[in-house]
Amino acid sequence: MGTKITQPRAYKTISLGVAIVGFCLGFFAITDAKAEVNIRYPVMNQDVTSEAGYLVVSGDLFRCPLAVVQIRDADGNLFLPIYQYADSVYLEAWIAIFSLPPGTYTLYVEDMDDNFDIVSGIYVAP
């Protein structure tokens, strides 16, 4: 008795491989298109009085280095962070620490590609 050996069907393997590669290219193209920066905390019109002496603000940072993190009060006075850290490659996040006196503030963040986000109405009570 002989054993019948059949040829593997290569065309199914190739078409599956093409489908997987096509899916991955499409997925990574969408993922890589997220070249932007945003603010996660604080949110608009948030009272941060309890954190005013050591306010940690944070957000996402995709594919592009951070350029600017600043806070302005209602009179236009500029407050720069006492500390900031950003990683657009591995962590894809940024943080900054501010010390704020009483007032109402606007947080502005921008990356090197001129993408930006603004959160206004951040409030510190007297």
Same domain (yes/no): 60, 120: yes
Look up the CATH number of the domain holding residue 109. 2.60.40
Q: Report yes or no on 2 lying in a domain.
A: no
The residues with which 68 forms a beta bridge, in sequence order, are 110
Confidence at residue 41, expressed as pLDDT on a 0 to 100 scale: 96
- Indicate the pTM of the whole model: 0.71
Q: Report yes or no on 23 lying in a domain.
A: yes
pLDDT at 124 over 60: yes
Same domain (yes/no): 23, 71: no
Burial class of residue 98 in the structure, from the number of CB atoms within 10 Å of its CB (0-12 exposed, 13-18 middle, 19+ buried): buried
Type of residue numbered 42: P
Same domain (yes/no): 26, 53: no
Mean of the per-residue pLDDT values for the chain?
83
Decide which of 118 and 19 is more confident.
Answer: 118
Which of these, 50, 68, 51, 47, lies nearest to 59 by C-alpha position? 68
Helix (H, G, I), strand (E, B) or coil at 74: coil
**pLDDT tens digits for range 40-95:** 999 999 999 999 999 999 999 998 999 999 999 999 999 999 999 999 999 999 99
Q: What is the mean pLDDT of residues 10-31?
A: 47
Same domain (yes/no): 69, 116: yes
